[in-house]
Amino acid sequence: MSKIDTRLNVSPVPPDEIFALNGAYAVDPHPQKVSLGVGVYRTDDGKPWPLPVVQKAEKELVVDDDLFRHEYTAIEGDVPFLGIARDLMFGFEGKQGEEEAKARIGSVQTVAGTGANHLGALPPTVWLSNPSWANHQTIWELAGVPRKTYPYYHAATRSFDFEGMMSSLESEAQEGDVVLLHACAHNPTGLDPNKEQWVAIADLCERKKLFPFFDSAYQGFASGSVEEDAWAVRYFFNNKPDMEMCVAQSFSKNFGLYGQRVGAFHYCTNRASTTLRDVVVNNLCHLIRGEFSMGPRVGCSIVKKVLTNEELTADWHQDLQVMSSRIKTMRKALYNELVRLQTPGTWEHIIQQNGMFSYTGLTPKQVYALKDKYHIYLLKSGRASISGLSQKNVAYVAQAIDDVIRNEN
């Protein structure tokens, strides 16, 4: 029997920064350590928060004792769940022309939002915002798709670079190029286009025949309103019916189902090509079958239980308000502390940004100083997860930021 050759033609790759940072935080024994790295919701006590409505749904599912709860679903996923996810995203509520609009959308279940992004990561060129969620780069790189970036963040003013984005796409993007857009709560900057700017972006995509690819990871979590956070997606879909688009939808943040990996991918044909919808779904199912066969069942069963019960749906909306309100409160608290300390620089951007993350404007050197001296963990880009702040640590964090900035100066 010949000896097995275990040598692999592979090279080391850098560890994922977020998970490496979280691992370092976990083993840090310092009593005042603060995690501002990983994007998960935490209570003011720094604890995970299984949503109360999710806990109610889980109890009801146990009582239901569905004999099929561990069985395979269809390749496209749990079909009733897909209809619910689609309606949540696109806002169908018995409106005129609803059936015709639904006929444009082909939906499949995915392994959370990451899986939805991966499933849609097909040629040709994709345009990503600079900066964007780090995993966007990895997903499209592994799919072998050429990547370009459009300006998004204006460092000097710590604001959304709308003019830079539009100018770059106008002059360089080619017909058929994919433009990846964050539906709300842009990760990592926390900066979103306003509605007037969204309209202009939609007009540009339509005129240049670009393909909008929305990543919707925070619907309801960002503002507390599922309608408000889906405004851009619904505007593109309803007002540009001759333009194709797609949406990667995640339920990790807005249901707190981080480890359940609940997601959906929606491909929207133009209104003249609805006959292609089933062909699109057929091709998506072919890809799914070769990668993971079908989406996981438990998490989508929880979402389905909540969104098919009026009382539980109302409870879910209340839970969204709790999470979004706490994030906004902590943004204001950090801003107030920095102003009170007269910390060098301007800090209005912290309360002008939206959602879980803040692009603080801190430099890599300052970030390393926060970690080494104060045991405060955030990404080297200066991105901070606001959820890691609390009434107990916000003054400590602000004082630490003030100290590292003054000592550097």
Q: Phi first, then psi: what are they for 120, rounded to 5°?
A: -90, 0
Measured between its terminal Cα atoms, the distance across the chain in Å is: 67
Is there a catalytic annotation at residue 133? yes
Is there a catalytic annotation at residue 253? yes
Q: C-alpha dihedral over 76, 121, 39, 109, to 10 degrees?
A: 0
DSSP conformation class of 74: B
DSSP conformation class of 127: E
CB 137 within 8 A of CB 295: no
Using DSSP, state whether 376 is helix, strand or coil: strand
Quote the CA–CA distance of 308 and 313 in Å, as a whole number: 7
Q: Phi first, then psi: what are they for 238, rounded to 5°?
A: -80, -30
Joined together, the tokens standing for residue 235 give 């505007």
Is there a catalytic annotation at residue 242? no
Joined together, the tokens standing for residue 3 give 């000896």
CB 69 within 8 A of CB 301: yes
List all residues 6 or more positions away from 113 whose beta carbon is below 8 Å from its beta carbon.
Answer: 215, 216, 217, 248, 249, 250, 252, 263
Quote the CA–CA distance of 124 and 161 in Å, as a whole number: 25
192, 229, 240, 253: the catalytic one is 253
Quote the CA–CA distance of 322 and 329 in Å, as a whole number: 11
177, 192, 215, 319: the catalytic one is 215
133, 140, 198, 347: the catalytic one is 133
Catalytically active residues are: 133, 215, 253
